[in-house]
Structure 1
């Protein structure tokens, strides 16, 4: 296990939505659709590593003028 994984913040879904600057409802829908960030399923909870949410956000970065 990488050192980053040991110190990475674990977020509940509403907290992860805040990091992603999306509503909790939109963020949850992305999980259902399979278009959101990777998550951990612990019991009934969906939990997110802060780094996974940020990585997912950055993967949508586009150059200015790009389609």
Structure 2
């Protein structure tokens, strides 16, 4: 399986953390959140692909993502 590099922008990660009530957000914390989310998204994607394959489809649908999270 090929590895795709995703990138969540540091500025969006800072926005997300601030929206939860933080006044100040370090660059390091925003980068770490991006890394965690990218790992999580990759894991969910792999599981969703397996779910779609089990259902006999090549196309991953929203329902496959939801099923992968169960």
Bigger share in helix:
2
Give the number of the structure with larger relative contact order, counting CA–CA contacts within 8 Å between residues 6 or more apart. 1
Bigger share in strand:
1
Q: Same fold (TM over 0.5)?
A: no
Please classify the TM superposition score into its range, dividing by the shorter chain length.
0.3 to 0.5
Q: TM-score, normalised by structure 2?
A: 0.32
Q: TM-score, normalised by structure 1?
A: 0.33
Structure index of larger Rg: 2
